[in-house]
Structure 1
């Protein structure tokens, strides 16, 4: 690999865990692309980090929109010519605690569109940049709600299914990729963010740290695994 700085991209990077991931990757010496679908919030978040002398730039990307993802990939290729780390962090949690078969179908469709298809399209669009140099680290921010055992209990069905599918995608892609490209899923735990609410025990900073080790694993590191706090957990 060339001596240039490694490039990392984080989706949903303007707040919560995403923002902390951007910050910590930049502190580790990465050039970081903060991707967000909201240009105003995205620019503002990136500028805050740039003002702290961190190497951060903003790219607009709506993971629910394939054209937006394609455009972002073209922009990253033009601007940086490489991508070393991809963190799929953008996600939604829209469930009320109702039964899957009784819920408004739009909730399930919207959840799958963002949490599953969004990640699928992002990986598909950006992996050629990794294949070009035969190196890449992909981290899918999942949830313990995506574990098979959680399917035995009612409630939060749309979110659970979306993360269950994301975990399956992680394993399938791991089986298909060649070269030193690795993909893993990680459960950050219950995080105090807009999504997790204020009573959650884990800070976004702690969550970021429990995720980021997967960004710098060596060639002998895990591929197609599911982790919490650095330990492998059951699918």
Structure 2
């Protein structure tokens, strides 16, 4: 691989993912814009190119094995390898999500994208990441997945959401297992909470901008070689599990 670093960001056609791609691109990185919607993906690629980013589009449905395998092949062909994977794609599962009445299909959808999708993409990209000099994996999670905060009186953890919040707890638990498995490698893997960002995921009710939400994922994507691994961060510091 050349001296230029390459990142792949899933769900990068809009919102936080787009701003992560833009931020890494501004650092001189080559960035793969992973997204399943072709029109929105190509629009994002065009905007990023106009901003001077070295970017390539990656058709990617994180719930589909064949799509993920093709995305790995495309990334290898376009960039010759991969240094950073940002697992940003996610869904809420829709509502309502009261556990006593929830449609189990909502849980399945949330877990398939937010957990299985991350495992599927991570495993497909690991061979390239293992070849990198400074590989990083960043999982975009949420503080609503913190069991500590969920059980702390007065903590702000959003509405009752038996699909979305536990899917992020599951994602965090899975990440810890990856960190253990990869502890004897140079791959650093961490989780990032972007905060309550105004995106279509929450009907734009959030109080933070996508640019603000992208800050912690970008920081974790660019950690030094002696940086942490297996940890959970937001803009204020470490988030309790």
Q: TM-score, normalised by structure 1?
A: 0.94
1:96 deviates by 2.2
How do 1:59-98 and structure 2 match up within 5 A?
A: 59-98=58-97
Pairing 1:192–2:198 present: yes
What CA RMSD, in Å, does the superposition of the two structures yield over aligned residues? Answer: 1.6
1:149 deviates by 2.9
Pairing 1:182–2:188 present: yes
Residue deviations 1:54-96 (CA, integer Å, cap 9, x gap): 1111010000101100110011112222101110000001242
User: 2 CA distance for matches of 1:190 and 1:133?
Assistant: 33
Aligned to 1:48: 47
Residue deviations 1:125-169 (CA, integer Å, cap 9, x gap): 001101123531110000011101355498201101110010011
8 Å CA contact 2:34, 2:41 repeated in 1: yes
Aligned to 2:12: 13
Give SS of 1:98's match. coil
1:101 deviates by 4.0
8 Å CA contact 1:150, 1:160 repeated in 2: no
User: 1 CA distance for matches of 2:144 and 2:83?
Assistant: 28
Moved over 4 A (4+): 150-154
How do 1:99-118 and structure 2 match up within 5 A?
A: 99-118=98-117
Aligned to 1:166: 171
1:113 deviates by 0.4
Aligned to 1:213: 219
Residue deviations 1:12-60 (CA, integer Å, cap 9, x gap): 0000001111111100110000000011110111011112221111010
Q: TM-score, normalised by structure 2?
A: 0.92
User: 2 CA distance for matches of 1:144 and 1:46?
Assistant: 30
Give SS of 1:199's match. coil
> What count of residue pairs does the alignment treat as equivalent?
234
User: 2 CA distance for matches of 1:230 and 1:70?
Assistant: 36
Q: For structure 2, list consecutive stretches of 5 or more residues without a partner in the other structure.
A: 152-156
8 Å CA contact 1:142, 1:187 repeated in 2: yes
1:4 deviates by 2.4
User: 2 CA distance for matches of 1:4 and 1:121?
Assistant: 28
Aligned to 2:154: none
Give SS of 1:135's match. coil
Aligned to 2:118: 119
* Larger CA deviation: 49-58 vs 162-171: 49-58
